[in-house]
Structure 1
Amino acid sequence: MFTEDGKPSDDDPRENGPTLGDERVTLVEALRCARLTLEMKCSGLDAEAMARRAVEPSTMSLLGLVRHLAEMERRTFREMMAGQDVPPLFCSDIDRDGDFDGAVADPHVVTQAWEAWRTEVDFATRLVAEAPSLDITGDDPLNQHGGGGGAMSLREVLVGMIWEYGRHMGHVDLLRERIDGRIGQ
C-alpha cells in the first residue's frame, strides 16, 4: 500500500477486483474497498496522530472514526442481522459519543480500536458470505439504520454500510491531509 518512505505504492489492493459480478459480488466488493480505504488512510500513523481532533469544537479524529465504524459494523451485522444481544463497544447511555470521546492518544486504545473493527468486519464478512440470499432480513426497531424502522434486507444493509463508509471517507481524507499533508488513495 505504501513504500518505506511513506509514499503511496502502485500496488492498490482495491484495484483489479471483480468487475462483472452479480449484485452480491458488486455490493461486497464496494464495501471491501471502502473498508480498505479506511485502513490505507490511517496507515503509518502513531497514536497521537490517530487521536488528533479535526477543529474545535469537533471531537472527530481518525481514531474516533475507526471506533465509530466498529460500532456501526457491530450494530448492523451482529445486532440487527444476526439478532445477537451484544453490548456496545465504546458508547453507552451515559456517553453516546464514547466512540469519539474515548479516542485518546494511547497506543493501547488505538490497538483496541483496530482489533474491535477487524473483529466486527470479519463477523460481517462471514455473515454476508454465509447468507443464503440478499433477501434475508434483520429487524431495526429503533430505526438506527435509516430505513424507517422494522425489517431491512441484507441488500439494504450492505448499501447502507457502503453509504456510511462513503460518508466518512471524506472526513478521513481531510483529517489525514491535516495531519501530514498526505492526499490521494
Structure 2
Amino acid sequence: MAGTRYPDMWVDPEDDPRTQGALLADERTTLLDYLATYRLTLELKCSGLTAAQLATRSVPPSTMSLLGLVRHLAQVEQSWFRRRMAGQDVPYLYRTADDRDADFDGAVADDEVVAEAWARWREEVSNADDFVAQAESLDLVSASPDEPINLREVLVHLIEEYARHCGHADLLRECIDGATGQ
C-alpha cells in the first residue's frame, strides 16, 4: 500500500483512514481512540507486504520483524485482557517455557504463519474491545490477585506498548521498501 501523490509514504495523507479522534471527549473515549489509532497504524505499516518481507529481521542479533511485532502484540493483548484483567487461565499464544521470545523467533516467512498471526491479533483485539465495552468503569480492578491493576492503567500501558512498537515498525518498513510513515 503506497501513496500515489507521495509514493514514499504508505498512504497519501488525504486517504489516511486514521482520524484525529474525538477532541474534548471523556477519558474512556480518548483512551480507546488512541489505542484504536495505534492498532490501525500497525496494520498500515504491515500492509501490502509479502510473508518474506513481514518476516525480515531488523539488525543482527535482533529477531524483531513486523510479523514478530504482530505476534507480540497479539500476545500482549491476550496477557493483559484475558489473563490479567479477566483472570482466565489460558496458555500463552507464543511464549513457551523453552522460548520466552517465540513471538519473534517463530515469525517466519510463511503465508500460513502470517495468516495465523493476523487472525490471533484480530481475535485478541476483539476480545479486548469487548472486555472494555462491558466494563462499567475504568476503575475496574484486574481479576488476577497477584498484581492488581485497574483498566485505566492497562489501557495506558497498551497505548504505550503500541506507540513504542509502531516506532519500531516505522524503521522496519523503511528498511524493507523505503516507505516512510506519517
For the aligned pair, the TM-score class normalised by the smaller chain equals over 0.9
1:57 Cα shift? 0.5
Measure the CA separation in 1 of the matches of 2:94 and 2:39: 19
Contact 1:61–1:175 (8 Å) recurs in 2: yes
Ranked by relative contact order (alpha carbons within 8 Å, sequence separation 6 or more), the top structure is 2
1:13 Cα shift? 2.0
Alignment-derived partner of residue 162 in structure 1? 159
Give deviations 1:32-68, integer Å, cap 9, x for gaps. Answer: 0010000000000010000000011000000000000
Alignment-derived partner of residue 85 in structure 1? 89
Amino acid at match of 1:57: P
Contact 2:10–2:180 (8 Å) recurs in 1: no
TM-score computed with the length of structure 2 as normaliser: 0.92
Gaps of 5+ in 2: none
Measure the CA separation in 1 of the matches of 2:175 and 2:82: 34
Measure the CA separation in 1 of the matches of 2:167 and 2:3: 23
Alignment-derived partner of residue 133 in structure 1? 137
Contact 1:31–1:158 (8 Å) recurs in 2: yes
Task: Pick the structure with more strand per residue.
Answer: 1
Contact 1:31–1:162 (8 Å) recurs in 2: yes
Contact 1:140–1:152 (8 Å) recurs in 2: no
Query: Of the candidates 92, 112, 124, which is equivalent to residue 108 of structure 1?
Result: 112
Query: Of the candidates 165, 172, 181, which is equivalent to residue 175 of structure 1?
Result: 172
Residue 87 to residue 48, structure 1, CA distance change in 2 (3 Å) = same
Query: Of the candidates 3, 7, 11, which is equivalent to residue 8 of structure 1?
Result: 11
Measure the CA separation in 1 of the matches of 2:171 and 2:156: 24
- Secondary structure, in 3 states, of the residue corresponding to 1:177? helix
Give deviations 1:109-141, integer Å, cap 9, x for gaps. Answer: 000000000000000001111100000011373
1:180 Cα shift? 0.2
Residue 16 to residue 171, structure 1, CA distance change in 2 (3 Å) = closer
Q: Percent identity?
A: 57
Residue 40 to residue 129, structure 1, CA distance change in 2 (3 Å) = same
Query: Of the candidates 32, 36, 54, which is equivalent to residue 36 of structure 2?
Result: 32
Contact 2:10–2:45 (8 Å) recurs in 1: no
Aligned residue pairs, count: 177
Gaps of 5+ in 1: 142-149
Matched, 1:23 2:27: yes
4+ runs deviating over 2 angstroms: 1-7
